[in-house]
Every structure is written in structure tokens, then in C-alpha cells.
Amino acid sequence: MMFERGHGRGATLVAMVVLLGGCARAQAPSPSVHERIRAAEEVASHERSDHMEAEGRLRAAEARNQALVEIIRGLGGNVQHLVGERRDLEAERTTLQGSLAETRQALEAMRAREAQSRDRAALFRTMIDRFRSMIDAGQLRVQVTRNRMVVELPESVLFDSGRAELRATGQVVLEQISRVLATMGRDFQVAGHTDNVPIHSPRFASNWELSTARATTVARRLIELGMEPRRLSAAGYADAQPVGSNDTPEGRRQNRRIELVLVPAFEELPDLSALRDSAAPAVR
């Protein structure tokens, strides 16, 4: 459009020059007419220059606009990337928090087990100290069997062979033992054990009956000596849990015994709640 306006003005100038040329034949041109022509040409030149300058500014503006569009598009991609990274970090944080909680629980459980181990060790040392004289006399042993603390008494101290009545020495030994056990405030199982030599008598049909009768006899005597009945239980194992070889006289002698087994307290038992919870859906 700028060019068309400039072209129109050029045609006008040509027409003016022709007219003026015709007039020149008639008379000499006046100075004011030449000045107007030059002025008109200068105006046309300025307008062409302005038009070119405007087109340059427009192109520059369009280039800047395109650059801004690219910047905005790039920023949009960066924002999406940052949003994704934030999501990943939040998920990782949640996972780490869960792991930290599990680690703390495991540490607390480990500390509790360590405390229980220290308590059991202290109790074991106490039992040994209190039974020291009887241990030295060969009347009993204090040991850990099947992960339980056990006071073990040989058959010869308590019973005659094949019988379930206490000997006089057995009465004295149980009196000494009861004084120690009564102060501990713990539960004990009296366990009877035999060798694998079969027994056949009017009273005992097998070693099961013999071992059970001996355990019951000892438990009753301890109750008579002042122990609380709720702290005691009795069981016979016959020859099912030997501590020595039944192929030798010495091994069979070791197997004929009475054990006073310290029953673990509730807090000393392993936590099985996880097993209970995992099995709950299967319960109808």
C-alpha cells in the first residue's frame, strides 16, 4: 500500500512536469514551482524510507515474538519435567519414611531382645549362685537345654530304680530347692525322663507311666513345701528326650532324671502377631 501511494505521487509529479514543460514553452517557470517539486520528491523519499523502516521493525517484532513462543514452549516442557521430578521425590520420601519406621521398629525389637537376654543371663547366674552348694555336692545341675534353663536332678538322688516314691535324700533336696524356687516368682514344669529299658510292673505299664508318676510326685512335694500350685505343672516324657546314649550304662544313668524347667514368661516369647494377622483372612 505504501508503494502504491508512492507510485501515485510519482505519476502526479510526472504529470506536473509535463504541464510545466508545456507552460515552459509559453513562459519561464517560477522558482516556487521547482521548490514544490523538490519538496514533493523529498516527501516521497521520506515516505519510502519510513515504509522500509516500518517493515524492518515488523520483521524484528515477528522474530522476537517467535523467540518468545519458543521460550514459552521450552518453559512449559521444563515445568512438566519439574512436576514429574517432584512427584518422584515425594514417592521416594514416602518410601524412605516407611523404611525408617521399619528400621526403628526393628531396632526397638532388637533392644528388647538384648534386654531379655541380659535378664535371662542374670537369672541363670542367680540360679547357679543359689544352688552352688548342691551343684558342688553333685545333687543337681543347672544348665540350658533346648533354649530353656533347667535344674536337673538325677534319679539316684530322688528315687529308687523303677519306683516313684521319694527317697529320704530326695525329700531333703526338694526342701532346699523349694526355698530357692519360691523366691523367684516364676513358673516351672516338672518333667520326668527315663532310659529306654522297658518296665513291666503292676503299677507301671511302661516308662510313660513311670516318668509321669515321678514328675507328679515331685510337683506335689514342692506344693507341700510352699510353692504355689499355679506355678507348677508336671509331664512325663519316658525315653523320648535322652541327654545321653542309651547304648551305655553311663548314658542310661544320665537319661534317668527329673528336670525343673523354667517356663518362659509371656514377654520372653517371640511375637507371633504378624503370623496371626497374615492368617486372619483364612479364618472363617
Task: Show pLDDT as tens, one digit a residue, over the chain (284 residues).
Answer: 444 444 444 444 444 444 445 544 445 555 587 888 888 888 888 888 888 888 888 888 888 888 888 887 777 767 788 888 888 888 888 888 888 888 888 888 888 778 877 877 887 888 889 889 999 998 999 988 888 889 999 999 999 999 999 999 999 999 999 999 988 889 999 999 999 999 989 999 999 999 999 999 999 999 999 999 999 999 999 999 999 999 999 999 999 999 999 998 766 655 555 555 554 444 44
| Number of domains into which the chain is organized | 2
Please tell me the distance from the alpha carbon of residue 177 to that of residue 186, in angstroms, as a whole number.
13
Question: Which pairing describes strands 232-236 and 257-262: parallel, antiparallel, or unpaired?
Answer: unpaired
0.75 exceeded by pTM = no
Provide the CATH number for the domain around residue 179.
3.30.1330.60
Question: Does 219 lie in the same domain as 181?
Answer: yes
pLDDT digits (tens, 9 = 90+) for 206-240: 999 999 999 999 999 999 999 999 999 999 999 99
Residue 243 · residue 254 · CB < 8 Å: yes
Question: Does 168 lie in the same domain as 107?
Answer: no
Q: Please spell the DSSP secondary structure of 44-86, one letter per residue.
A: HHHHHHHHHHHHHHHHHHHHHHHHHHHHHHHHHHHHHHHHHHH
Residue 150 · residue 218 · CB < 8 Å: no
Non-local (6+) Cβ contacts of 15 within 8 A are none
Residue 5 · residue 47 · CB < 8 Å: yes
pLDDT digits (tens, 9 = 90+) for 247-273: 999 999 999 999 999 998 766 655 555
Of 85, 120, 155, the residue that ends a domain is: 120
Torsion of CA 156, 162, 166, 170, to 10 degrees: 10
- Asked if the structure places residue 201 within a domain, the reply is yes
